[in-house]
Amino acid sequence: MFEKPSKLRPAVLGGLIIGTISGIPGLNLLNCCCCAGILLGGAMSVYLYRHEFTSEMPPMESSDALILGIIAGIIGALVTTFLSALIILILGPVETEMMRNFMEKLTQKLEDRGSVPQGTMDNMRDQFEQAMKDGGTIGGILRSLVYALILYPIFSMLGGLIGYGIFGRKKPETPPQPPMQL
């Protein structure tokens, strides 16, 4: 029997998908929907890995999807941080600026309606200015890398498992094992 295919290529491609979605300002708003971009990257890595299997190879298992999701998440975190740092260096803090404009409009509306206390917008503006200052520093980039290295593998792993549930499963050709009872 053949060995299973290498996980590196699909994991790198999944990581690049995560990095592109999460690193490009505007496109990364997709992650506001329950980290959809990261889930998608994890699921895509499983989909790509599934296509590398041939009939001679042992079937794909959920542990493969789990590991694949984690690797894709780690690569995605690195790519995102690199891309974000590059965009900050070239264009400045466009992402934070964009978010500030959006949040200011939203907070102004809420303040006018009386849904949030007066002065919320000033506090928010101060926080965004602080974030814009920190974003360009080495410390800020390293901090975002640490957060990304914790969060991205978790969500990418979940995406990988969802991807395995949709694309990866195939009924085994050998007689199935009795179900496990916990």
Partner 1 sequence: MPLSGALKRLRIPKPGLLIAVILPMVMDAVLNDTGIHSSTTMTRLATGLVFGGVMPWCIVPLFIEASLQLIQKKKNPSPDTGVRMHV
Question: Is residue 63 within the footprint of partner 1 (CB under 8 A)?
Answer: yes
Question: Is residue 112 within the footprint of partner 1 (CB under 8 A)?
Answer: no
CB of residue 117 vs partner 1: minimum separation in angstroms?
Answer: 24
**Of the residues 20, 62, 120, 144, which one makes contact with partner 1 according to CB under 8 A:** 62
Name residues whose C-beta falls within 8 Å of residue 67's C-beta, 6 or more positions apart in sequence.
Answer: 7
Alpha helix positions (H), 60-137: 62-91, 94-113, 120-135
Residues 159 and 31: beta-carbon distance below 8 Å? no
Which residue's CB is nearer to partner 1, number 114 or number 176?
A: 176
- Coil, strand or helix: which one is 148? helix
The span from the CA of 157 to the CA of 167, in Å, is 15
Question: Is residue 92 within the footprint of partner 1 (CB under 8 A)?
Answer: no
**Of the residues 47, 49, 128, 167, which one makes contact with partner 1 according to CB under 8 A:** 167
Which residue's CB is nearer to partner 1, number 4 or number 125?
A: 4
Name residues whose C-beta falls within 8 Å of residue 41's C-beta, 6 or more positions apart in sequence.
Answer: 14, 15, 17, 18, 21, 72, 73, 76, 156, 159
Question: Is residue 35 within the footprint of partner 1 (CB under 8 A)?
Answer: no
Residues making contact with partner 1 (CB under 8 A):
1, 3-4, 33, 58-59, 61-63, 65-67, 158, 161-162, 164-167, 169, 171-172, 176-177, 179-182
